[in-house]
Amino acid sequence: MSEHPFFFTWSAQRDARGVNITGGRGAWFTTDDGGRWLDMASLVYQANLGHGHPRMIEAVKRQADTLCLTMPSAVYPAKTALANKLLALAPKGFSKVFFTLGGAEANENALKIARMATGRTKAISRFRSYHGATMGALSLSGDYRRPPLEPGIPGVVHALDCYCDRCPFGQTLDRCKIECADHIDQLMTLDGPNTFAAVFLEPVPGANGVLVPPPDYWPRVRAACDRHGTLLVADEVLTGFGRTGRWFGFEHYGVTPDMITLGKGLTGGYGTLGAVLVHERVAAHFEDRPLLAGLTHYAHPLGCAAGVEAIAVYEDEGLIDRAAALEPALLGGLEQIRRRHPALVAFTRGQGLLAALELKLDKGQWAALQRGLDARRILTHPKPSTNMLVLSPPLCIDQDELQLGLDGVEAALIEASTDTPAA
């Protein structure tokens, strides 16, 4: 048996590599062996504000001193303030917030709300997607994590992806007719008209390789949803709060979804909180009908206080604009790496401070890459099963730190490519 008294997630326990994290500051975190790691991942995409942020720590302490214990029906300043702030950030017409403990539950509850509001049961999501680990959210997820745990909830149909570098419809960018959007439209016709409650999309699928859609993709899906009376849910758990250089990823595409699900950057990781932002045309359904959803820790005061302060920090430190401003440094740096190593890097993609290198490494080289990154103490999101390395540094990172991270990735990549397995 492994030495730890708790389970590690998503891994065989014997293979799990624990990280003895002790604290950190800005884009860096520390470990108990005296190590200092450059966080090119924002831990698991949530540490947008960076590590050890004094204002965040203070805000949580202040709330702990004031009010910690509540119940779902309780009303208190942090809950009201956060809901108001979120609605102010959302597009015009959003009128209610449903709080959850994290991203998966946000998607679970968005699906329930969509079912109740439309009277329909089915949903569409995509294969290269991740919407969370709870049973409903996992059923929506399309990636490798779902099949081993099936059967999930019935009624989820998966669509092909907007994976432009390897278009599932065999197109090249210059001939692209955005068949991936029309495919969703066709599914809503062919798999039962008037049966689909919602389409769930990550604005830019993140963990599955940063698949930035063509500009017209979202408007086409929006129009298809309108034609079919189906709600459009933007899963902004990963992309929300500046990750793509805007408050929300869908803002790049000029559309308004019907619901927006949030987690991760909502508190920057300083509180366990998620949320569903609901447009008034959906929220209105519940004025006279019961909303059959709720959790013991609904809108926990510590999470709400962290959310209020996080939004203030994003604003005061100009972190959303900063992510947009650093995009050229991140994407340009990755593109240079690709040009210098065409035999190792197939494609680079990204938006804001979310980017991926699509690599051409074999299994042994991936192990060597991981060793090289660990030796340099650089945290990334390695995805050996899809040959992708995803980067998502904290939005407070500076240009020198970013370059340091890119240099480290390139050095580890070169090392990995020359790695020959021990005889």
Judged by the rule CB under 6 A, the positions of this chain that interact with ligand PLP are 102-104, 107, 130-132, 202, 206-207, 235, 237-238, 263
- Cα separation, 116 vs 290, in Å, equals 9
Closest CA to 330 of 30, 42, 89: 42
**CB-wise, 271 or 372, nearer to ligand PLP?**
271
384 in Cβ contact with 366 (< 8 Å): yes
- DSSP structural state of residue 347: E
Rg (CA), the chain: 21
DSSP class per residue in 70-114: --TT---HHHHHHHHHHHHHSPTTEEEEEEESSHHHHHHHHHHHH
In the complex, minimum distance from the CB of residue 391 to ligand PLP, in angstroms, rounded to a whole number: 15
- Cα separation, 394 vs 267, in Å, equals 13
- Cα separation, 51 vs 272, in Å, equals 16
- Cα separation, 205 vs 131, in Å, equals 10
In the complex, minimum distance from the CB of residue 336 to ligand PLP, in angstroms, rounded to a whole number: 28
**CB-wise, 235 or 335, nearer to ligand PLP?**
235
**CB-wise, 237 or 320, nearer to ligand PLP?**
237
360 in Cβ contact with 343 (< 8 Å): yes
Q: Strand pairing partners for 41?
A: none
In the complex, minimum distance from the CB of residue 227 to ligand PLP, in angstroms, rounded to a whole number: 26
Which residue number places its CB atom closest to ligand PLP?
Answer: 103
**CB-wise, 238 or 396, nearer to ligand PLP?**
238
In the complex, minimum distance from the CB of residue 109 to ligand PLP, in angstroms, rounded to a whole number: 12
**CB-wise, 268 or 372, nearer to ligand PLP?**
268
Secondary structure percentages of the chain, helix, strand, coil, to 5: 40, 15, 40
Closest CA to 248 of 25, 48, 40, 39: 48
In the complex, minimum distance from the CB of residue 352 to ligand PLP, in angstroms, rounded to a whole number: 15
Strand-strand pairing, 259-262 and 274-279: antiparallel
**CB-wise, 103 or 333, nearer to ligand PLP?**
103
In the complex, minimum distance from the CB of residue 239 to ligand PLP, in angstroms, rounded to a whole number: 7
In the complex, minimum distance from the CB of residue 32 to ligand PLP, in angstroms, rounded to a whole number: 25
In the complex, minimum distance from the CB of residue 418 to ligand PLP, in angstroms, rounded to a whole number: 33
**CB-wise, 117 or 207, nearer to ligand PLP?**
207
**CB-wise, 74 or 149, nearer to ligand PLP?**
149
